[in-house]
């Protein structure tokens, strides 16, 4: 297969590909336009020739949205996101995007096609046929499609991204559920004799994510100095369990532990050693702090399912396991701890995420701060 480049304008190029002969033996060529430098055009020519050689070349006019998204998932997204995120992207594309607009040629996809997809999804997009998808789900659909079509522009397959002219739904802000001090005490007492007690205690006193708790190893804890080091997280996908690096660089962090959490960890390590000795070779020592009875990895979804079943009988509001992380942050903020410190304990990439997530706590904090200010300066002005 051959091809060559021809200059068209000040910063535009034409790539002419020889793609064989038609039924009458006439030479067939396909033209592709590229904006940028000559090197940009040469790189695109190399890519196109590779697709010709490998048999994966598709004429621009015949490339459907469905076929493009398949390529985007395998050649781009698979190398940019975690397996769990890739699984979510694939599900959204397979279940919602492709059935509605996958048949359209990529170059002929219009904003109206996408807007109609969102409208229909909100009305009756559920797979079980029982109504529409939540606005937040449709917004996530929009974000996936926007990313994919943005990459199509970078690959010189689209001139513009049609999602830019589409208005996605605005989901309602969900206020995070959090327990107060008395409720936390009742929660811990309810779970004290359960194997869920330690994961709950760590979550509510450190703010660690579920996957971070289940990936925590004894080698990452210094009980003498009451410090815990987050170095990995446990992820569960359809392919199984895997340990991965934390969500962001800021997620690799050191968290100082309360004294009663240190004491609980010491007692748990003692009981773990006794169980290990009792089970002998049956016990699988993975050095995990929170594991199954035989030392094997505790799947995140199993932990959440057990917690959801047991919380129904607890003398506290029904919450998710993840809400224990929100409880930790909310309690610290209400106690006057600086949001920067809270952000560092949670492993947020920047403080603005913390402030946005827990903005509902801040108004009360402002009132308390002004009350202190008034007391301190009373009678001086």
Contact 183/319 with Cβ under 8 angstroms? no
Which of 31, 57, 83 terminates a domain? The answer is: 57
The predicted structure's pLDDT at residue 208: 96
Question: What residues contact 158, with CB distance under 8 A and at least 6 apart?
Answer: 106, 107, 149, 152
Asked if the structure places residue 372 within a domain, the reply is no
- What single-letter DSSP state applies at residue 105? B
Q: Which residues 6+ apart lie within 8 Å of 143 measured at CB?
A: none
In a domain, 73, yes or no: yes
Q: Does residue 229 contact residue 254 with C-beta atoms inside 8 Å?
A: yes
Give the torsion sign (CA, 296, 300, 306, 307).
positive
Q: Same domain for 38 and 138?
A: no
Residue found by looking up tokens 């199509």 in the block: 152
Q: In the prediction, which pLDDT does 14 show?
A: 87
Instruction: Provide the pLDDT for residue 352.
Output: 86
| Same domain membership, residue 127 and residue 186 | no
Identify whether residues 346 and 270 lie together within a single domain. yes
Do 85 and 144 fall within a single domain?
Answer: yes
Among 32, 143, 138, which Cα is nearest to 77's?
A: 143
Q: What pLDDT, on a 0 to 100 scale, did the predictor assign at position 127?
A: 92
pLDDT score for 239: 87
The stretches in the chain having pLDDT less than 70 are 1, 22, 58-61, 174-175, 360-370, 372-373, 376, 378-381
| Angle formed by the axes of helices 135-154 and 83-92, nearest 10° | 100
Q: Are residues 22 and 46 in the same domain?
A: yes
**3-state SS class at 143:** helix
**Number of domains present in the structure of the chain:** 3
344 and 199 in a single domain? The answer is yes
Q: Same domain, yes or no, for 147 and 294?
A: no
- Is 173 inside a domain boundary? no
In terms of domains, do 262 and 362 share one? yes
Burial class (CB in 10 A: 0-12, 13-18, 19+), 227: middle
The span from the CA of 339 to the CA of 333, in Å, is 7
Q: What is the CATH number of the domain that holds 234?
A: 1.10.443.10
Domain range for 52 is: 2-57
Q: How far apart are CA 286 and CA 35, in angstroms?
A: 53
HSE toward the beta carbon, residue 64, CA cutoff 13 A: 11
Q: Which of 286, 307, 346 is nearest to 200 (CA)?
A: 307
- Residue 123 maps to a domain: yes
Residue 190 is assigned to a structural domain of this protein: yes
Q: Does the residue 276 lie in any domain?
A: yes
Residues 136, 280, single domain; the answer is no
Of 57, 79, 104, the residue that ends a domain is: 57
Beta strand 254-256 with 240-244 is unpaired
- Pair 103, 151 in one domain: yes
List the CATH number of the domain containing 119. Answer: 1.10.150.130
Asked if 265 and 352 sit in the same domain, the reply is yes
What's the Rg (C-alpha) of the chain?
28
């Amino acid at each position: 297969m051959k091809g060559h480049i021809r200059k068209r304008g000040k910063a535009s190029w034409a790539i002419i590909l020889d793609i064989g002969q038609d039924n009458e033996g006439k030479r067939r060529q396909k033209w592709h336009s590229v904006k940028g430098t000559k090197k940009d055009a040469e790189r695109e020519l190399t890519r196109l020739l590779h697709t010709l050689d490998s048999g994966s070349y598709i004429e621009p006019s015949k490339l459907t949205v469905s076929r493009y998204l398949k390529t985007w998932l395998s050649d781009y997204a698979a190398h940019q996101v975690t397996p769990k995120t890739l699984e979510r992207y694939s599900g959204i594309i397979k279940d919602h995007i492709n059935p509605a607009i996958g048949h359209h040629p990529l170059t002929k996809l219009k904003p109206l096609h996408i807007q109609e997809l969102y409208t229909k999804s909100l009305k009756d997009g559920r797979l079980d046929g029982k109504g529409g998808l939540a606005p937040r789900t449709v917004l996530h659909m929009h974000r996936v499609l926007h990313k994919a079509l943005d990459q199509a522009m970078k690959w010189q397959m689209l001139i513009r991204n049609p999602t830019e002219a589409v208005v996605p739904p605005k989901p309602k802000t969900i206020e995070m559920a959090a327990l107060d001090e008395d409720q936390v005490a009742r929660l811990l007492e309810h779970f004290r004799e359960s194997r869920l007690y330690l994961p709950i205690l760590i979550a509510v006193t450190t703010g660690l994510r579920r996957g971070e708790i289940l990936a925590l190893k004894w080698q990452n804890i210094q009980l003498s100095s009451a410090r815990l080091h987050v170095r990995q997280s446990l992820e569960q996908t359809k392919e199984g369990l895997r340990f991965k690096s934390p969500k962001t660089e800021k997620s690799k962090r050191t968290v100082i532990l309360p004294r009663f959490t240190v004491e609980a960890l010491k007692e748990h390590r003692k009981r773990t050693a006794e169980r290990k000795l009792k089970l002998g070779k049956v016990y699988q020592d993975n050095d995990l702090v929170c594991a199954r009875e035989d030392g094997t990895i505790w799947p995140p979804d199993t932990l959440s399912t057990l917690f959801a079943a047991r919380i129904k009988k607890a003398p506290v509001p029904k919450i998710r396991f993840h809400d224990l992380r929100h409880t930790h942050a909310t309690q610290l903020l209400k106690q006057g701890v600086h949001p920067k410190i809270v952000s560092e304990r949670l492993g947020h990439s920047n403080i603005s995420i913390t402030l946005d997530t827990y903005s509902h706590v801040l108004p009360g904090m402002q009132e308390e701060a002004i009350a202190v200010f008034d007391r301190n300066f009373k009678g001086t002005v």
